[in-house]
């Protein structure tokens, strides 16, 4: 039996179609990606977006003073604020 180019092309097309169908079946059976955002992540996102009015210049100035060793803490003011906070709660 002689295989001419038309028969050969038909066989190639049939094989190609079968292969494409198999690939699409395999892809459809794969599990889908899923993302779950934890409650902690939601909370962190909420507090970071709510605190957009933070003075970054002031924070960076304090960081620099801490690095240079020139930042001083008034322990009396801290103690007063702690006591005030405890009394309010």
The residue with greater pLDDT, 64 or 22, is: 64
Per-residue CA distances from 84 to 20, 62, 70, 79, 88 (Å): 73, 24, 27, 9, 6
Instruction: Tell me the pTM.
Output: 0.35
Residue with tokens 């180019």: 5
Judged against a pLDDT cut of 80, whether residue 20 lies above it is answered with no
Question: What's residue 26's pLDDT?
Answer: 67
Question: Hey, where are the domains in the chain?
Answer: 37-88
Question: What's residue 62's pLDDT?
Answer: 94
Q: pLDDT for 34-87, tens place per residue?
A: 899 999 999 988 888 777 777 888 989 999 999 999 999 999 999 999 999 999
Question: What's residue 2's pLDDT?
Answer: 61
Q: Is 37 left (phi over 0), alpha (psi -120 to 50) or beta?
A: beta
The residue with greater pLDDT, 79 or 14, is: 79
Question: What's residue 79's pLDDT?
Answer: 95
């Amino acid at each position: 039996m002689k295989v001419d180019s038309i028969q050969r092309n038909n066989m190639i097309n049939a094989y190609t179609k079968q292969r494409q169908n198999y690939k699409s079946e395999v892809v459809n059976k794969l599990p889908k990606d899923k993302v779950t955002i934890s409650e902690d992540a939601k909370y962190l996102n909420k507090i970071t977006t709510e605190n957009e009015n933070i003075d970054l210049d002031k924070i960076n100035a304090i960081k620099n003073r801490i690095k240079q060793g020139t930042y001083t803490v008034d322990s009396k003011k801290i103690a007063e604020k702690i006591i005030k906070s405890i009394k309010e709660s």
